[in-house]
Amino acid sequence: MTVDLEGPEPLYEQIAAVLAARIADGTYPQRRRIPSEAAICEEFDVSRPTARSAIRLLNERGLTFTVRGKGTFVAEQQPSDEPAGDGTSG
């Protein structure tokens, strides 16, 4: 999986979207750790600040939570503002 440097979306949003998709499809199971900042830097070839921005988004959206010295973990519940939304309505 890669990101689009030319796209309109910021890198950190694209990366957050990729990670969010992995959470949604179970690649990153609940309560389990997601890859470290360093690993995200490696995979997406970005700087640590950018990797951290992506994680920050996930945390803000309630998908994950971060514990210093341990890592970032998938939250047990992913709250949603769109209770019925799976995008298949149209």
Partner DNA sequence: AAATATTTGTACGTATGTATG
Partner DNA sequence: GCATACATACGTACAAATATT
Q: Report if residue 12 touches DNA, rule: CB under 7 A.
A: yes
Residues 41-70 that bind DNA (CB under 7 A): 45-50, 52-53, 55, 66-70
Judged by beta carbon, residue 24 or residue 39, the one nearer DNA is 39
- Nearer Cβ to DNA (19/89): 19
C-alpha span between 21 and 72 (Å, rounded)? 16
> Which one-letter DSSP state was computed for residue 2?
-
Distance in Å, CB of 29 to DNA, minimum: 16
Instruction: Verify binding: residue 38, DNA, rule CB under 7 A.
Output: yes
- The 3-state DSSP class for residue 65 equals strand
Half-sphere exposure of 79 (CA within 13 A, CB side): 7
CB 65 within 8 A of CB 73: yes
| Whether the Cβ atoms of residue 82 and residue 39 lie closer than 8 Å to each other | no
Q: Is 1 in the site for DNA (CB under 7 A)?
A: no
**Which parts of this chain interact with DNA (CB under 7 A)?**
10-13, 36-39, 45-50, 52-53, 55, 66-72
